Amino acid sequence: MARTLMCEIVTPERIVYTNEVEMVVAPTLLGEVGVLPLHAPMVTVLVPGELRVRYNDNKDVEWFAISGGYMQVHEDKVIVLADNATHSSQIDIDRARQAKEHLEERMREIKAMTAEERDGLDECEFDLAWCEAQLKVAESHS
> What pTM did the predictor assign?
0.85
Of 11, 15, 2, 23, nearest in space to 73 by CA: 23
Cα–Cα distance for residue pair 72/94, rounded to 1 Å: 33
The distance in angstroms from the start CA to the end CA of the chain is 28
In terms of residues, how long is the chain?
142
What pLDDT does residue 115 have? 67
Nearest Cα neighbor of 26 from 55, 57, 60, 53 is 53
pLDDT tens digits, 41-63: 999 999 999 999 999 887 899 99
| Interval 3-17: pLDDT, tens | 899 999 999 999 999
**β partners of residue 19:** 7
Cβ–Cβ < 8 Å for 80, 33: no
Question: What phi and psi values does residue 40 have, to the nearest 5 degrees?
Answer: -65, 145
Q: Which of 48-52, 100-104, 113-117 has the lowest mean pLDDT?
A: 113-117
